[in-house]
Amino acid sequence: FQTSPNSRHEFSPLLLDYNFLRNTTVTFDSIMTANPAIYVSMRNQFVPKIKYTYTYTSPTGSLNPILWETTVTEGGNLLSLFYVAAGKDFSKKGKGLFGNPFAQFVKLNTSLRKTWQTGQKSQLVSRVAAGILWAYGNSDRAPYNEQFYVGGANSIRAFTVRSIGPGKYVAPNTNYAYLDQTGDIKLELNLEYRFNLFGNLYGATFLDAGNIWLLKKDPNRPDSEFKPSTFFRQLATGTGVGLRYDMDFIVLRLDLGVAIHVPYDTGKSGYYNIPKFWDGVGLHFAIGYPF
């Protein structure tokens, strides 16, 4: 519902997801055995959710508009209240629905975007995006698809999806390393200058930074928990250039990202600690602007 020209509220009283592992491979089972936290987040479970989103946009015609969007999602608490009504402990583990456990968590996600009009066909756009996810009661870990990750075409573009974090954790060099690279806390910072080249073709230069962290220690992922005194030094950073072709109804985008810094020790001193230049290059083709 729209309470004013600038404020929009969206409320979803019930969203029901169901995770079901129909069959697994030997490789998958070995990965899950080695990492119990990942297994808990991927097991068969119901995910009953309630979600609320608030969006604020600047008045039409604003020279330097902002867009602020915040979403609060809770999972499993309504079902837990029925357990309390039946005389059971709200925080008891193992509560189930139709023979399967259900997830219990609270998630906050917020994003603030600011645009400065620097010319008739040029603008400077910044974004700050942050989130926190707390699993409790029935769950030690939130469902895998609710966890945060960074990297990719709409995130830190010098890195591929799920290739950074959590924290200073370095994933093993395997094809399945990305499974471990999710977290409970996320922070992203983006700055992009967009300018017209000719016609409907636009160029861009950008600077991205961010990482994810865990709220609780995980022995399988050392140095991955959030610490207020060190988190800022654990931000991965990257820069790059891009092209955008604006077809009015759709925007085609090509970004070339170059890594500047990773949060873990690479054996190379200084802020630029990428061992090999080409190891820190990411190419992304996407539809629409990144933010």
For position 151, what pLDDT does the model report? 95
Print the domain residue range for 117: 7-287
pLDDT for the residue numbered 50: 94
**Is residue 2 one of the residues assigned to a domain?**
no
Confidence band, pLDDT 50/70/90 cuts, at residue 86: low
- Model pLDDT for residues 213-257, shown as the tens digit of each residue: 999 888 888 999 999 999 999 999 999 999 999 998 999 999 999
Number of domains in the chain: 1
Q: Is 50:105 a contact under the CB 8 Å cutoff?
A: no
Ranges 35-39, 90-94, 191-195, 225-229: which has the least confidence: 90-94
Kindly state whether residue 1 falls inside one of the protein's structural domains. Answer: no
Q: What CATH code is carried by the domain that includes residue 86?
A: 2.40.160
Q: Is the pLDDT of residue 200 over 90?
A: yes
The answer as to whether 182 is a domain residue is: yes
In a domain, 234, yes or no: yes
pLDDT of 99: 66
Would you say 43 and 135 are in contact if contact means Cβ atoms under 8 Å apart? no
Indicate the average pLDDT of the chain.
89
Mean pLDDT (whole number) for 188-200: 97
Average pLDDT of 168-183?
80
Please, how many CA atoms are within 13 Å of residue 96, restricted to the half-sphere of its CB?
7
- Per-residue tokens: 196: 């017209």
Q: Which band of pLDDT confidence, cut at 50, 70 and 90, is reported for residue 139?
A: confident
In this model, does residue 90 exceed pLDDT 60? no
